Structure 1
Amino acid sequence: MMSVTSTYPVGLSRSTGKNARLKSALAEVSIVMAPGCFDCLTAKLVANAGFGAGYITGSGLSMSALGAPDMGVISFGEIVERVMRICDSVDIPLICDADTGYGGPINVIRTVKDLERAGVSGIQIEDQAWPKKCGHEPGRKVVDVDEMVGRIKAAVDARDDSNLLIIARTDARTEFGIEVAIERALRYQEAGADVLFVESPESEEEMRRINQSIKAPTLANMVEGGRTPVFEASKLYELGYKLAIFPNSLTRMIAKQGAELMQTLKQNGATAAFSDRMVDHRGLWDLFDYPAWTDLERKFANQ
């Protein structure tokens, strides 16, 4: 019997090998840049710009899916559904913000298994108490360090692919200082975390101190207007970071540019003033692989 092989557009066929590619990239003499995305459109923008990884931002998911700030409002079920669609839409590894793991050790195990099946290549879990808050906002509370160690051990044990990265984040800096935050990160490294994420250091000196103390790969969180200085990738690499996320850069740009477009349309009744800042009809459809989809349709039509 003749076999038929087909190449399906991204969005119909989940690619393999993403986990190993991300882990391998972290071992190279460079820094991995992972801009934030919150839906298939923003993930496409990240991938098409040539980035080797992306970051599925929890705050972006909450804002775009619910119209709510990053305060633990979005449910895990809503997150998994959206994450699966985002992972299917691009052929680059994606890291997913999994907040606190959504409960005790059993919940963490389910979180890791469901997100791994959804297609992510890295899962970030933090030591905040629930309901969590944005890492650059006040009022965050952290759990006992042993509780977070249990979360990390459960996450490491739950993954099916050892190449899936477990990223441990601590939010202890703001309330307890940088030394306590580093001590916590080192405990999480001992528990098996692949990447350490000390959230919201407040100076270049603190960022350098983090990387002098931690010998595992570290993550820098670049939040425009947040608590941490925003540096370019080469500077972050010089400071010792191996991974840099820019979680809401696209969100902020879309919010500002979209607001200006809507105001212009309301005042002028037209969008012509923004035409040079838009992709045209064909450009938008091609962003989503329209030729590949039409070729696939044509292949099986009228058989």
Structure 2
Amino acid sequence: MLHSTKTPAQKRAAFRERLRGGELLRLPGAFNPLSAKLIQDKGMEGVYLSGSVIAADLGLPDIGLTTLTEVAGRAGQVARVTELPVLVDADTGFGEAMNVARTVQCMEDAGVAGIHLEDQVNPKRCGHLDGKHVVPLADAVQRIRAAVQARRDPNFLIMARTDARGVSGMDEAIERAKAYADAGADAIFPEAMTDLEEFAAMRAAVDVPILANMTEFGKSELFSTAALAEVGVNLVIFPVSLLRLAMGGAERALDTITEHGTLESLVPQMQTRARLYELLDYESYSQFDSGVYDFTV
């Protein structure tokens, strides 16, 4: 009821422990707090919060227009309702080194388990689009060092994302991943890998956990969790999938209204009221309410 029963510190410690266990952790992307509750209910290991999803939810393209305040606010709303660790896309850190430091502490205050920071120039682009540019290696390393220095909870995960694969090739992506790990990054997010061999090469290059981004309509084939685990991937995100499915359903519903004037034919596809109330834990609220007001005048 209301908030998660676990503190942010407990979630972070548990996240670290599971990462050390060597299993593949699945982090579907939430598009709001309710979808985060569903992700937990379905037995996933974590929740991902995509910058692209936050931007789209605000009616904006994913080109660095969202602010730290907007992202931290949504991150806090999502983290509040789930027992799972929440990993947040913090883009380029919303600025340079000092901004990155503030971003880390704001995200800690929001209650999330960790963030990832990328090495694109600002304003950034979606990682699976062409025309990206990365900052010089020294600048990207400075962002990671600032993040590591700024965190107050040592279990807060600092993940470094590199977009170098799509800019200058796999060799530079590996070089940058090594440099970021040396700078203190707890995990590496190699963006836009094209095949399993590239994931395997990244796995061999660094000693920290690596993440696979299984986004639809991107550069990577949609590999199964079993295939990713086989090459040593530690985390997999499905960043925009639930939003795409939800918006696809919403669009079909609007078309049905236009064509038929009623949604009766789609009712079997809808989440029922009972299922919604189950996710929201209505029963606990009712019990609490009746306990507080259980008296007569």
Normalised by the size of structure 1, how large is the TM-score?
0.93
Using the alignment, how far apart are the partners of 2:236 and 2:247 within structure 1?
Answer: 22
258, 261, 269: which one aligns with 2:253: 261
Aligned to 2:174: 182
Using the alignment, how far apart are the partners of 1:84 and 1:210 within structure 2?
Answer: 32
Equivalent position amino acid for 1:92 in 2: L
13, 32, 45: which one aligns with 1:39: 32
1:159 Cα offset (Å): 1.3
Aligned to 1:214: 206
1:1-303 superposed matches below 5 A: 9-11=1-3, 15-16=7-8, 17-64=10-57, 66-301=58-293
Query: Is the CA contact (8 Å cut-off) linking 1:63 and 1:69 kept in structure 2?
Result: yes
Using the alignment, how far apart are the partners of 1:258 and 1:26 within structure 2?
Answer: 36
C-alpha offsets along residues 80-130 of structure 1, whole Å, 9 cap, x if unaligned? 111111110111110000001111211111100010110110111001111
1:286 Cα offset (Å): 2.3
Using the alignment, how far apart are the partners of 2:294 and 2:122 within structure 1?
Answer: 55
Taking every aligned residue pair, what percent have the same amino acid on both sides? 37
SS at match of 2:29: strand
Equivalent position amino acid for 1:109 in 2: A
Deviates more, 1:286-295 or 1:170-179: 286-295
Query: Is the CA contact (8 Å cut-off) linking 1:170 and 1:198 kept in structure 2?
Result: yes
Equivalent position amino acid for 1:29 in 2: G
- Structure 2: tracts of 5 or more residues without a match: none
Query: Is the CA contact (8 Å cut-off) linking 1:58 and 1:98 kept in structure 2?
Result: yes
Query: Is the CA contact (8 Å cut-off) linking 1:124 and 1:169 kept in structure 2?
Result: yes
Using the alignment, how far apart are the partners of 2:224 and 2:264 within structure 1?
Answer: 34
Query: Is the CA contact (8 Å cut-off) linking 2:196 and 2:228 kept in structure 1?
Result: no
Normalised by the size of structure 2, how large is the TM-score?
0.95
Using the alignment, how far apart are the partners of 1:284 and 1:150 within structure 2?
Answer: 45
C-alpha offsets along residues 22-69 of structure 1, whole Å, 9 cap, x if unaligned? 1111111310110011211221121111111010111001111x1111
Using the alignment, how far apart are the partners of 1:47 and 1:10 within structure 2?
Answer: 15
Equivalent position amino acid for 1:204 in 2: L
SS at match of 2:48: strand
Equivalent position amino acid for 2:23 in 1: S
| Cα-Cα RMSD | 1.5
